[in-house]
Structure 1
Amino acid sequence: MKTRLLIFTLSIFLGVAARAELKWEQNTIELHPSAGDKTAVAHFKYQNVGTIPVHFKSVKASCGCTTTQSQKEVVNPSEKGEIVATFTIGDRTGQQLKTVTVQTDDPNPTQAMTILTLKADITPALEIKPPVVYWQNGEEPKPKKISVKAAKEFPAKEITIKSNQNFESKVEPGKAGEWTIEVTPKDTSHPIGTALQIQTDYPKEAPKSFYLNVVVTTPPGLPPAVRPNVANTPAPKTATPPASPAGGVER
């Protein structure tokens, strides 16, 4: 009886002692890439503080713009390592949040899956104000001005803007790294919208381009100038049907 109790107690002790556990230094990393950076890279470091090896089953990013790389597939007790998450910035600006889901063979479900979060606050290379310009249907097609300012980390010296068949545009240089764009619609009689391309000269090997949205839109309800005056609109005339011959049938 004592032997059985000893074996049972020992098995419980070994079950508790034999555990796998990855301890992460940080589950969330905040990055502040410069305006000219192409990628933002986060290093999620870990250590196996358990007593048995940990096997990675999968490491998946939340989107195709983020790639992941793990140094090893098996992490032995006391070993350290890291998972590297690389976020491709592209044309994205502002707050970006990407996640990496790590799945291990830890028998404890609360330890088997870990969500790593990469936060990137991306300074726009060009500050475009306003980013969208509107005209209403029937509005006089007057030019509207847009201010453009390059970030310190994005030393563009010149920008150009491409007009199209519906909008005319031109660039007026100001202080270093600052410009004013003037856009004029050719016609505001019907709704239309497009994105005008702003081309920079930086970086030299692959100059970046940006877009300004310009829209002629229908307002919510016709403006008074074009709303029909119902009070003064004559009533439609009612046609009088021709009389049928007496006692006959109209053919």
Structure 2
Amino acid sequence: MKAFGTFLVALFITFSINSQEFKFEKETINYGKITKGSNGERTFVFTNIGTEPLIIKNIQSSCGCTVPKKPEKPIMPGEKGEIKVSYNTKILGGFSKQITIFSNAKKSRKAIKIKGYVAEGISLEKEKSMLSEDS
């Protein structure tokens, strides 16, 4: 009987540890077409819809060109949290990157994504010289 009681306590603790969940406003952020060197920082907003504090343990990106920043403090039930992501906009061309979040939620791994296209921007000087050549 003592072993059964211990089992129930362990089961309860396991359930309560994994009763967190979070919901993102957007799971993919589309940068669209942006110019080289422009601001590459975006923010994912989420809400803890669980009954316990949500702890983001770690965040990994699919490459070094994407740097995510996790919340340092637990997100309490019903509260919103943010994950800031910076993409290196000096790299030309299309991109699609995955960010994996490790937490104490029911699903301990959650993937979110960023995508877009970085184009070579025309500088004001180039534009002026092009206009003066047409005259």
SS in 2 for 1:32: strand
> Shift in Å at residue 72 of structure 1?
2.9
Is residue 111 of structure 2 the alignment partner of residue 115 of structure 1?
A: yes
Corresponding residue number in structure 2 for 1:175:
130
Corresponding residue number in structure 1 for 2:99:
100
Aligned counterparts, 1:125-164, within 5 A: 125=121, 151=122, 154-157=123-126
Name which one, 1 or 2, has greater alpha-carbon Rg.
Answer: 1
Q: Matches of 1:120 and 1:43 in 2, distance apart?
A: 15
Identity %: 24
Amino acid at match of 2:59: V
> Shift in Å at residue 21 of structure 1?
0.4
Question: Size of the alignment, in residue pairs?
Answer: 120
Amino acid at match of 2:125: A
Q: Matches of 1:89 and 1:59 in 2, distance apart?
A: 20
SS in 1 for 2:82: strand
- Decide whether aligned partners of structure 1 residues 72 and 177 sit closer, same or farther in structure 2, where only a CA change above 3 A counts: farther
The TM-score with structure 2 as length reference comes to 0.74
Structure 1: where are the runs of 5+ without partners? 1-7, 126-150, 159-173, 179-251
The TM-score with structure 1 as length reference comes to 0.42
Give deviations 1:81-135, integer Å, cap 9, x for gaps. Answer: 1100000111x222111221101022x3xx211111011222222xxxxxxxxxx
- Greater per-residue helix proportion: 2
Q: Matches of 1:121 and 1:34 in 2, distance apart?
A: 6
Structure 1 runs of 4+ with >4 Å offset: none
Structure 2: where are the runs of 5+ without partners? 1-7
> Shift in Å at residue 49 of structure 1?
0.5
Amino acid at match of 1:155: L
Structure with larger RCO (C-alpha < 8 A, sep 6+):
2
SS in 1 for 2:124: coil
> Shift in Å at residue 52 of structure 1?
0.8
Aligned counterparts, 1:1-251, within 5 A: 15=15, 19-32=19-32, 34-90=34-90, 92-106=91-105, 108=106, 111-125=107-121, 151=122, 154-157=123-126, 175-176=130-131
Give deviations 1:20-46, integer Å, cap 9, x for gaps. Answer: 101111110001354253431221100
Whether the 8 Å CA contact 2:59–2:102 is kept in 1: the answer is: yes
Note the aligned Cα RMSD (angstroms).
2.8
Amino acid at match of 1:175: M
